[in-house]
Structure 1
Amino acid sequence: MSKLAKTILVVEDDTLIAMAIEAIASDAGAESIDTCTTTSEALVALKNKDYDAVVLDVHLSDSDDGWEVAELLQNLGPAAPKIVFSTGSPDSIPEDIARFGTVLAKPYQEKDLVAALQLPVGGLLRRFARPA
């Protein structure tokens, strides 16, 4: 299994969910975790720092298609961070965008987030179902 991403950007407009993601990633060994609540904040953060992974809510307060960030990241080529889509509506992500990363359907289990943050960039697309 690959190592956990060390630098992570969390793009999430729900404060409680963002705090939970940060705590899970930190407990799992992430060294640096930044949080943004909007697409525009995320774009600024990505210009200012290199990240190993981005946990991306696809329905943000300033944009209902957070995959704009995913498309930008794919333009970085081999240097692109891994993407973990975090969404309550996984079927709303266009398939050509979903293939850029791992899709986690909210609510998901901590172990699924940690596993997604351990996948190598360009790893197999994995979809995690909601817990029973």
Structure 2
Amino acid sequence: MQGLLAGRSILVVEDDYLIAMDVDNALRQAGAQVLGPVPGVAEAMALVRTVNLDAAVLDVALGRETAHELAKELRARRTPFVLATGNVNVAGQPDFEGAPVLEKPVRSQDLVRAIAAIVS
């Protein structure tokens, strides 16, 4: 998977430190430039509004927050995203409609393939 995401700028929004580090590592090994990981919506929104992104990886449940507003902002900017979620059912939620959903724990190769598919 090395080089599959070479030159791509990917935002990682994840509030669990260990999962965030695994995602960061997988994306960097695939050649991506990783922004974050950031644990919350405010930090992520600041990056989305100031940095040119190729894609994002979003955890749906971020402590007491959710990624709904962030998903809306990404869609408005035509930035594709992948959802990495645990127990959150995103079916029928329009903010997340059409986004690839990976169930945690996410395998590195599945994550990299999903990102590669949405940025190609």
Question: Normalising to structure 2: TM-score of the pair?
Answer: 0.85
2:86 to 72, 85, 88: 88
Q: What is the aligned-residue identity percentage?
A: 34
- Alignment match, 1:35: 37
Equivalent in the alignment of 1:126: none
In structure 1, what residue type is equivalent to 2:75?
Answer: Q
DSSP 3-state at the match of 1:119: helix
- Give 5+ residue unaligned stretches, structure 2: none
Listed as ranges, the matches of 1:71-86 within 5 Å are 71-76=72-77, 80-86=78-84
Contact 1:11–1:57 (Cα < 8 Å) also in 2 = yes
Segments ≥4 residues shifted beyond 3 Å: 92-95
Evaluate the alpha carbon distance shift between residue 68 and residue 100 of structure 1 in structure 2; reply closer, same or farther with a 3 A threshold. farther
| Alignment partners' CA distance in 2, 1:28 and 1:115 | 10
Check conservation: 1:90, 1:105, Cα contact below 8 A: no
Return the alpha-carbon distance in structure 1 between the equivalents of residues 58 and 29 of structure 2.
19
Supply the distance in 1 between the matched residues of 2:64 and 2:20 (Cα, whole angstroms).
Answer: 16
Measured after TM superposition, the shift of residue 27 of structure 1 is 0.5
Q: Within the alignment, does 1:98 sit opposite 2:96 as a pair?
A: yes
Aligned position for 2:58: 56
CA RMSD in angstroms, aligned pairs only:
2.0
Q: CA deviation at 1:94?
A: 3.6
| Alignment partner, residue 110 of structure 2 | 112
Count matched residues: 116
2:71 is aligned to 70
SS in 2 for 1:108: coil
* CA distance, structure 1, for counterparts of residue 45 and residue 110 of structure 2: 26
Could you tell me how far apart the structure 2 residues matched to 1:71 and 1:30 are? 23
